[in-house]
Amino acid sequence: MSKRKRFMLPETEIPTQWYNITAEMKNKPLPMINPQTKEELKAEDLFPLFAEELSRQEVNQTDTWIDIPDEVRDKYKIYRPTPLVRATELEKALDTPAHIYFKNESVSPVGSHKLNSALPQAYYNKVDGTTNITTETGAGQWGTALAFAAKAFGLELAVYMVKISYEQKPYRRSLMQTWGAQVIASPSMSTKAGRKIITDHPNYQGSLGTAISEAIELAMQTENCKYALGSVLNHVSLHQTIIGLEAEKQMEMADEYPDIVIGCFGGGSNFSGISFPFMRHNFTGEKKTRFVAAEPASCPKLTKGEFKYDFGDETGYTPLIPMFTLGHKFTPANIHAGGLRYHGAGSIVSQLLKDGYIEAVDIKQLDSFNAGVLFARTEGIVPAPESNHAIAAAINEALKAKEEGKKKVILFNLSGHGFVDMSAYDQFLAGDLTNHVVSDEDISKFLTEV
Amino acid sequence: MSKRKRFMLPETEIPTQWYNITAEMKNKPLPMINPQTKEELKAEDLFPLFAEELSRQEVNQTDTWIDIPDEVRDKYKIYRPTPLVRATELEKALDTPAHIYFKNESVSPVGSHKLNSALPQAYYNKVDGTTNITTETGAGQWGTALAFAAKAFGLELAVYMVKISYEQKPYRRSLMQTWGAQVIASPSMSTKAGRKIITDHPNYQGSLGTAISEAIELAMQTENCKYALGSVLNHVSLHQTIIGLEAEKQMEMADEYPDIVIGCFGGGSNFSGISFPFMRHNFTGEKKTRFVAAEPASCPKLTKGEFKYDFGDETGYTPLIPMFTLGHKFTPANIHAGGLRYHGAGSIVSQLLKDGYIEAVDIKQLDSFNAGVLFARTEGIVPAPESNHAIAAAINEALKAKEEGKKKVILFNLSGHGFVDMSAYDQFLAGDLTNHVVSDEDISKFLTEV
């Protein structure tokens, strides 16, 4: 009865360095390319857009470990180390021989893992003397995280929030405003990119791609202003490795090692965070852990996309990024997991998928909510719709283990809670949600436009 | 810069016993009385309404320590021990010599301290063979807690939710439904008590008092069904002492002892929980800690009510309880801190207030939200509107310490987070909230009706 439930690390065990997986990859991720000159991007090329240290981290393929500044580590103390939890009640409900663990990133004050990168991004901008930053947000999790981080380091923040989320998730907007940020529904009339898409498609509900275009444009036009991105980029994945680094120590406390590591997948930040620190033991051949990225069936870039150079945003303001993509003009269905509605995958994850280190599965919306409700009723926590994809994949693996009669150790990342997504659960419980699966035609159509 | 921020206890340090303060009080709280016979209530008299062990706990004035069942302690592991946090960033913003600590009960999966009593209440009902339970909820925090606890121990639950909250806080309703509970807006047509008040006052927005009447009536009419209450009663305060017992150990880790302990005050459950374990050292004369209950100016039973026997509910179904009260027909203004909209205080707290162990302050709604926003922007956590009252009182004490140039150690209970109360913050930030202060006439009017 009294199985140990939560594995907690003391404050002193907050990692002092992030893990830079690119330094240990045999096949390095391809570089980003300037769409005009077709030349490889260097750190300096990114300085107009990002803080200098973030730009350097973005292209750093040599240093395996990167120091976490004391000022950032001090802010991490607000919620880190986060708990590693054994999902004993879920195991019972599934009657599985599998041991299921989850890293609970939902305990951050903003409700998700996004704060792990928001804090260093705000900090490095502050160091550069930047006063204003801009960003985009899909479901609102990144925006809320950066809103608090900006306040914590004394920066002003403007957030372009994907219109459908702005309407579906008013509480996330209120959260950003409570922390002092300015929030604009995207597409908006405040940028050329926004005006163009509103003119072309008056009923357009917005997408991360468009919101990124708007945020970049505003940053470029504003004095002493930089841009910040919450996923996809290498420096974001780098910051998120703090999740897996803690989890590794905590799995040791539990005296186990994961056979399978699972994260939901939008741009790749939480998946990278939980996976990379464990993956380094696969590189050495010491371990054979499987890494499973759980993406929505409505936005299947990993399972059905193509590996090619593509823009990170809808308009084409970003450099060209080597990625698994559905095409930067692809507009995913309005599923509630707004954080997973992105057309491409970061360059590191894309390379690792290509090289066979990562598997991908696609999860239908109804299956994700079924998993989320079972999780809530057993483990107590109502998960974010995004996280439900990881839970569904973990349940599938646990049931497979049951069929095979094998004790597997499964670890997934609970990227966030669902307190501000309850309207989605309402619709699910009322039977009003549907699955959205993308047709092959749709995919080939948008891909040829790349 | 690197002050220690969070003080965490290991799972093994979850208390094994609750602290029953009545056993150590010089002046015992007066007994509850049967309104018909005018006789003192014994445990057996409560059996029709409550689980037997809960009824025994309710009248137990002899055992100082009461064992926590293993089954309950096992569920506590889902979120306990909760962190004790040094509010370093808030201290900086206030530029105060005071050290401010808060016990973070918002990390429970239901978002508040209410789960501390919901779990044992569900458990003891299960032990009795009860299959169905009923309850009421104001802001929804108790209802959500009991929804998960009922599911965790396999009970069916019906929740009468105060109508104004049902409408203002739809996410809390969704949470209860996600955990599997049935939720009914109160007043409803499903009970005699509800029908009567709807008939008399068609636009009545509901109150905790009315919802209690409805829940009791349904429990009395239903086979194998008991009732559960989330505050006011002695057994609820008993369960909540787990907050202060943990906090006491954590303050030791911080090498400090509180000069002032603060909790917001509705029926008294979270205030009792944080206070009682520290208060026992006042009883022995060993310590001279001040205990401050922070109530809303719109419902000032402690600062402006009278000590007398009164009903716990609007209709008069409960026993007569010795309490500081505004009269059981008193309907508080529709402030957003729904959990503090209750006319009376529990009998233990009432006795302690009478005996001078407790002080009370009243906080205006706008002051409470100002405090909450400052807390969010410094410590990151957006607090529940109820908790904002405790924060406001803590800030007042910290500013007083600054004026006096004294280092005071202040501890308050962060009873819950505000993720599902963002519409209240919206209104506050838009300048649409007002203060509600009760007039002396109103108070004397309702009191004479008792």
Tens place of pLDDT for every residue, chain A, 450 residues?
457 899 999 999 999 999 999 999 999 999 999 989 999 999 999 999 999 999 999 999 999 999 999 999 999 999 999 999 999 999 999 999 999 999 999 999 999 999 999 999 999 999 999 999 999 998 899 999 999 999 999 999 999 999 988 987 889 999 999 999 999 999 999 999 999 999 999 998 888 888 999 999 999 999 999 999 999 999 999 999 999 999 999 999 999 999 999 999 999 999 999 999 999 999 999 999 999 999 999 999 999 999 999 999 888 889 999 999 999 988 888 888 888 988 999 999 999 999 999 999 999 999 999 999 999 999 999 999 999 999 999 999 999 999 999 999 999 999 999 999 999 999 999 999 999 888 888 888 877 766
How far apart, in whole angstroms, are the C-alpha atoms of residue A267 and residue A273?
12
pLDDT for res B1: 44
Contact between chains at A425 and B71 (C-beta distance less than 8 A) = no
- With contacts defined as CB-CB under 8 Å, which chain B residues touch A420? 171, 419-420, 422
For residue B202, is it within any domain? no
d(C-alpha B18, C-alpha B280), whole Å = 13
Which helix (H) or strand (E) segment is B262 a member of? strand B260-264
> Considering the domain boundaries, does residue A53 fall inside one?
no
- CA-based nearest residue in chain A for residue B8: A10
CB contact under 8 A, B77 and A6: yes
Q: Classify residue A116: in a domain, yes or no.
A: no
DSSP A5: -
* Chain A partners within 8 Å of B5 (Cβ): 11, 74, 77-78
User: Which among B89, B174, B382 has the least Cβ separation from residue A178?
Assistant: B382
| pLDDT averaged over every residue in chain B | 95
- DSSP letters of B382-405? -B-HHHHHHHHHHHHHHHHHHHHT
Q: Which of A77, A86, A427 to mutate to test the interface with B (most CBs of B within 10 A)?
A: A77
The distance of Cα B130 from the centroid of its chain, to the nearest Å, equals 25
- Mean pLDDT is lowest, of A79-83, A144-148, B180-184, B316-320, for B316-320
Residue A439 has a pLDDT of 83
Residues of chain B with C-beta less than 8 angstroms from the C-beta of A151: 377
**Residues B103 and B82: beta-carbon distance below 8 Å:** yes
Determine phi and psi for A291, rounding to 5 degrees: -115, 120
State which H helix or E strand residue B366 sits in. helix B365-379
Number of folded domains in chain A?
1
DSSP tag of A35: T
Residue B439, pLDDT > 90, answer: no
Pair type for strands B260-264 and B156-162: unpaired
Interface test with A, best of B72, B79, B374 (most A CBs within 10 A): B79
Nearest CA in chain A to B146: A380
Mark yes or no for CB contact A174/B423 under 8 Å: yes
State the complex-level ipTM.
Answer: 0.93
Contact B382 A175 (CB under 8 A): yes
Taking CB atoms and an 8 Å limit, are B420 and A171 in contact across chains? yes
CB contact under 8 A, A152 and B11: no
- Interchain contact, B6 vs A5, CB within 8 Å: no
Tell me which residue in B8, B85, B148 faces A380 most closely, judged by beta carbons: B148
**Chain B CB contacts of A379 below 8 Å:** 78, 109
What range does the domain containing A368 cover?
6-13+71-111+234-448
- Write down the number of H helices and E strands in chain A: 18, 15
Please answer yes or no on whether B11 and A11 come within 8 Å at the CB atom. no
Q: Are strands B132-137 and B156-162 parallel, antiparallel or unpaired?
A: parallel
Contact flag B174-A425 (C-beta cutoff 8 Å): yes
Provide the pLDDT confidence category of residue B444 given band limits of 50, 70 and 90: confident
Residues B412 and B393 sit within 8 Å (Cβ to Cβ): yes
Residue A263 lies in a domain: yes
On chain A, the residues whose CB falls within 8 A of the CB of B171 are 171, 419-420, 422-423
Measured in angstroms, the CA of B4 and the nearest CA of chain A are apart by: 8
Decide if B180 and A377 are in contact by the 8 Å CB cutoff: yes
Compute the nearest-CA separation of B388 from chain A (Å). Answer: 14
Q: Angle formed by the axes of helices A269-283 and A234-253, to 10°?
A: 60
CA distances from A147 to A115, A182, A196, B93, B271 (A): 10, 9, 27, 18, 32
Residues of A in contact with B388 (CB under 8 A): none
Establish if A413 belongs to a structural domain.
yes
> Are the beta carbons of B379 and A110 separated by less than 8 Å?
no
Contact B175 A373 (CB under 8 A): no
Q: Which of B178, B250, B381, B391 to mutate to test the interface with A (most CBs of A within 10 A)?
A: B178
Chain A: residue nearest B153 by CA?
A: A378
**The pLDDT of residue B2 is above 90:** no
Q: Identify which of B148, B151, B429 has the shortest CB distance to residue A178.
A: B429
Say yes or no for a CB contact (<8 Å) between A429 and B174: yes
Residue B64: other Cβ atoms inside 10 A: 14
DSSP for residue B29: P
Strand partners, A264: A294
- CB within 8 Å: B380 and A78: yes
Q: Do B5 and A77 touch (CB under 8 A)?
A: yes
Best mutation target among B88, B422, B429, B433 (most A Cβ atoms within 10 Å) is: B422
The verdict on a CB contact (< 8 Å) between A11 and B2 is no
Taking an 8 Å cut-off on Cβ atoms, the answer to whether B78 and A380 are in contact is yes
First to last CA, chain B: 56
| Closest residue in chain B to residue A377, using alpha carbons only | B179
Confidence of residue B315 (pLDDT cuts 50, 70, 90): confident
Q: Confirm whether A239 is domain-assigned.
A: yes
The answer to whether the Cβ–Cβ distance between A379 and B78 falls below 8 Å is yes
Chain pair A-B, CB pairs under 8 angstroms: 133
Which residues of chain A have a CB within 8 Å of the CB of B79?
380
A423 interaction partners in chain B (CB closer than 8 Å): 170-171, 174
C-alpha to C-alpha distance for A105 and B216, rounded to whole angstroms: 39
Confidence class for position B174, pLDDT limits 50, 70, 90: very high
Check CB contact under 8 Å for A6 and B419.
Answer: no
What pLDDT shows up at residue A2?
58
Looking at residue A163, its pLDDT comes to 92
Q: Cα torsion for B124, B125, B129, B135, to the nearest 10°?
A: 180
Nearest CA in chain A to B12: A4
B-interface mutation test, from A175, A388, A422, A433, most B Cβ less than 10 A away: A422
Determine contact, residues B149/B118, Cβ cutoff 8 Å.
Answer: yes
Query: Does the beta-carbon distance from A148 to B380 stay under 8 Å?
Result: yes
Residue B9 pLDDT greater than 90, yes or no: yes
CATH number of the structural domain spanning residue B394? 3.40.50.1100
Nearest CA in chain B to A172: B422
Cβ contact B178–A5 (<8 Å): no
CB contact under 8 A, B377 and A77: no
Which of A112, A116, A178 best probes binding to B when mutated, by most B CB atoms within 10 angstroms? A178
In chain B, residues with a C-beta closer than 8 Å to the C-beta of A152 are 89, 380
Collect all residues with Cβ–Cβ distance below 8 Å to A45 and sequence separation of at least 6: A34, A55, A319
CB contact under 8 A, A107 and B109: no
B38 with B297: CB under 8 angstroms?
no
